[in-house]
Amino acid sequence: MQMIWSNYKSIKTVCDIAYQRSERWAVLTLNNITMDYYKLSTCEELIDKYVNEFNGECTTLEEGCLGLGLVLLHNAKGKKTILIKEFYLNSQSSGHTIRMYNKMPKKYAILTF
């Protein structure tokens, strides 16, 4: 598998773009699948808003090392179920991916009840 940074010339450029956007860390294209990576502070703001404003629940399914690990946001009326996963970058940093589901996947529904 070969990773290709789409529209970016170097890691320095990715860091500059991430700093300008402040929410997204980088956009990585892997086998024609584009994923957005988010920093810890953005994920914490999302959790805070989901729990306090939308009266949802936050369940930590796995503890993370530098970040959140595996976190499930669910049971907010009229909102999607959100899954936040930490991924490894190097020994001193990690990032997060965010997936949204219309209904909670069965795999996670069993773990939360």
Length in residues, the chain: 113
pLDDT score of 4: 38
pLDDT score of 99: 92
Residue numbers of the chain with a pLDDT score lower than 70: 1-35, 113
pLDDT score of 33: 56
Instruction: Give residue 33's domain range.
Output: 1-38
Cα 74 from Cα 79, distance rounded (Å): 8
Cα 71 from Cα 78, distance rounded (Å): 19
Please list, in sequence order, all residues whose beta carbon lies within 8 angstroms of the beta carbon of residue 64, skipping any fewer than 6 positions away: 70, 86, 94
Sequence-ordered alpha helix ranges (H) in the chain: 11-21, 40-52, 106-112
My answer on whether 72 and 20 are in the same domain is no
- Structural domain total, the chain: 2
My answer on whether 64 and 77 are in the same domain is yes
